[in-house]
Amino acid sequence: MLGLVLFATGTRFDLESRLDVYRVSIVSSTYYTLAQNPFWSLWDTLEQVIGARVAGTEAALRRTVPEETAVRVTRETVAPGATFPSPRYPLVHTTVGEAGVRLARPDQRDGRRPTILMIFVEGLDRRFLGRTVRGIRVTPFLDRLRGETVYFEHFFSNGSSTFHGLFASLCSALPRFGLSPIRTHYGSDFLCLPEALKRRGYRSEMVIGQGRDRAKSHLGLFMARHGLDALYDEGTFAPKTPRNRLGVLDSALFDLVRSRVETLHATDRPLFLATLTTSTHHPFQVPPDHPEVRALREQSDGYVTALRYLDTELERFFSGLRRDGLLRNTVVLILGDHGRHGSIGRTEAETMAGNFLAPLFVWMDASLVDPTIFRPRTVSQVASQVDLPPTILSMTGLMPGLTPFVGRDLSCAFVRDCLADNVAYLSNVSENLLGLVDRDGIWMYPVRAQTGREMDLGVTGASRERTVTDPQVAPRQQRLLSLYVAGNLLLVRNRLWSTREFWDPGDDVTAPSRPAP
């Protein structure tokens, strides 16, 4: 009888009914977690294990590149010169490498660590920045802001969908083919930025305009497990709040973000706040209140109209915070969760790479820095979303001694050219397309094909079709496939990170501590 009761409780006789609880808009991640039935998590995890075994995922990956080779090449790529102390978690490494910048000490800023504000713009494609359509500048605010920021002109999203982009940006881990790990592996162990900051005193919040479990994404479950204190989603907004097909319009979204900044600005606890916009998502439904938005509705590309709307709302939000002193002691990062969807491009090569062409702006309040550690400039070195967690943690002086991060600290690029050997790994969710970007250009490879395409970093010139056995391509191809195999294989096995093994439960920092130089 006990077994039957537990089974009935775990399934509620209807496996789909658990989705109703996943979608409940409970702001506190603690209470949201307590509202979940642990049997559902066990079932989801078991389902993934069974699916991987039935599909022969591990065997297929090992046939692509031998596991030992994949791990060795991946280690050399993501952390050259580091020590890898754990055979069971082969990508966990000591945090050594290029020395970046560090913000002024907290005791020099009234004892406060900086606020980190991360703005993900849905489908923000850098090819559309600086454009003029029908005599109207599409992104005048972002174009002006570029002069006040460190702008990465060769920045890439690692995945081609929102949840792959969030996973890479928050956890510095490689995305996979198919569904995002946020949906499929939310019960696995990762070291993500909210958790790393939370253990050193930060409060971590996220504001989104869509439902937390839209398209069964499990974003709420994943973020609650990996350090987020509060998640405000579509259910937080009043029923009559203006919406589009995806969720709440950006005007209301930014109003709520501002409200959270105002509320938390007066507290002594440092803040990490992330948000994700909606309006630049198909079908690009935006209100025609602004005259230039209204004028652009006459042209055929709805993305351009929506982008002009986003730019006006972002300017209103950012300028209001700055005017009212709410950006003091703050670092702002603005980036795309991915590039624009669809077959957009002047050439076949540009179309292949287009989903990954997302920009990155880094802005800092003057109270944080001096010209020796930050100055507005355009960075030409390659960077991608996985580089964000190590960069933020290094800037704030909170980088753990051991991490599984596959990204690099970019903060040295705030003042000079550095990290010329950095690479960006690309994975297209739906088309079985991989890519590797380095200082020599972009290499795009359709999986299991015999040829790929080589193109320049700006995707402006002609591309070249090359065979994978070409001696000039072979080293790049091996690195690409090694990243693909190692990232996916360790994800399937839940061997990327262990909180129990690498966090010291009696301290706020990881064990062991950062090694001496």
- In the three-class reduction of DSSP (H, G, I as helix; E, B as strand; rest coil), residue 184 is classed as helix
For tokens 């709302």, name the residue. 313
Instruction: State residue 15's pLDDT score.
Output: 59
DSSP 61-117: HHHHS-HHHHHHHHHHHHSTT-----SSSTT-EE--SS----PPPGGGTTT-PPEEE
Tokens of 303: 């993305």
Instruction: State residue 95's pLDDT score.
Output: 86
pLDDT at 50 over 60: yes
Q: What is the pLDDT of residues 21-43, one digit of tens each?
A: 888 899 999 988 888 877 777 77
- In the three-class reduction of DSSP (H, G, I as helix; E, B as strand; rest coil), residue 360 is classed as strand
Tokens of 378: 């355009």
What would the mean pLDDT of 239-255 be, rounded to a whole number?
95
Instruction: State residue 37's pLDDT score.
Output: 79
Instruction: State residue 247's pLDDT score.
Output: 94
Instruction: State residue 20's pLDDT score.
Output: 79
Residue 333: phi and psi, rounded to 5, are -120, 125
C-alpha–C-alpha distance, residues 221 and 218, integer Å: 5
Tokens of 342: 């669809």
DSSP 8-state symbol, 245: S
Task: Using pLDDT thresholds of 50, 70 and 90, give the confidence band for residue 346.
Answer: confident
Radius of gyration of the chain (CA): 22
Q: What is the pLDDT of residues 183-241, one digit of tens each?
A: 999 989 999 999 999 999 999 999 999 999 988 889 999 999 999 999 999 999 999 99
pLDDT at 70 over 90: yes
Q: How far is CA 481 from the centre of its chain?
A: 22
What would the mean pLDDT of 485-503 be, rounded to a whole number?
93
Task: Using pLDDT thresholds of 50, 70 and 90, give the confidence band for residue 12.
Answer: low
Domains, the chain, with CATH or none: 106-425 (3.40.720.10)
C-alpha–C-alpha distance, residues 515 and 509, integer Å: 13
End-to-end CA distance of the chain: 61
DSSP 8-state symbol, 463: -
More confident residue, 48 or 115: 115
Pick the range with the lowest mean pLDDT from 48-62, 70-84, 242-256, 268-282.
Answer: 48-62
Residue 284: phi and psi, rounded to 5, are 60, 50
Q: Are 505 and 511 in contact (CB under 8 A)?
A: no
Instruction: State residue 509's pLDDT score.
Output: 41
Residue 231: phi and psi, rounded to 5, are -125, 115
- In the three-class reduction of DSSP (H, G, I as helix; E, B as strand; rest coil), residue 158 is classed as coil
DSSP 8-state symbol, 226: T
DSSP 8-state symbol, 122: T
Half-sphere exposure of 377 (CA within 13 A, CB side): 15
Instruction: State residue 462's pLDDT score.
Output: 83
Q: How far is CA 243 from the centre of its chain?
A: 24
What is the tally of helices (H) and strands (E) in the chain?
Answer: 18, 19
pTM for the model stands at: 0.92
- In the three-class reduction of DSSP (H, G, I as helix; E, B as strand; rest coil), residue 22 is classed as helix
Q: What is the pLDDT of residues 361-372, one digit of tens each?
A: 999 999 898 888
Q: What is the pLDDT of residues 396-421, one digit of tens each?
A: 999 999 999 999 999 999 999 999 99
104 exposure class (CB count in 10 Å sphere: 0-12, 13-18, 19+): middle
Q: CA nearest 410: which of 150, 163, 175?
A: 150
What would the mean pLDDT of 298-309 be, rounded to a whole number?
96
Instruction: State residue 517's pLDDT score.
Output: 30
Q: In what order do the strands lie in the sheet with 115-121?
A: 230-232, 203-208, 271-276, 115-121, 330-336, 360-364, 150-152, 377-379
Instruction: State residue 460's pLDDT score.
Output: 83
Q: Are 228 and 296 in contact (CB under 8 A)?
A: no
Q: CA nearest 113: which of 200, 33, 187?
A: 200
Q: Which neighbouring-strand residues pair with 121? A: 336
Q: In the chain, what percentage of residues exceed pLDDT 90?
A: 71
Q: CA nearest 207: which of 231, 239, 226?
A: 231
Q: What is the mean pLDDT of the chain?
A: 89
Q: What is the pLDDT of residues 449-475, one digit of tens each?
A: 899 999 999 888 788 999 999 999 999
Q: Are 37 and 18 in contact (CB under 8 A)?
A: yes
What would the mean pLDDT of 45-54 be, rounded to a whole number?
76
Q: What is the pLDDT of residues 153-190, one digit of tens each?
A: 999 999 999 999 999 999 999 998 888 999 999 989 99
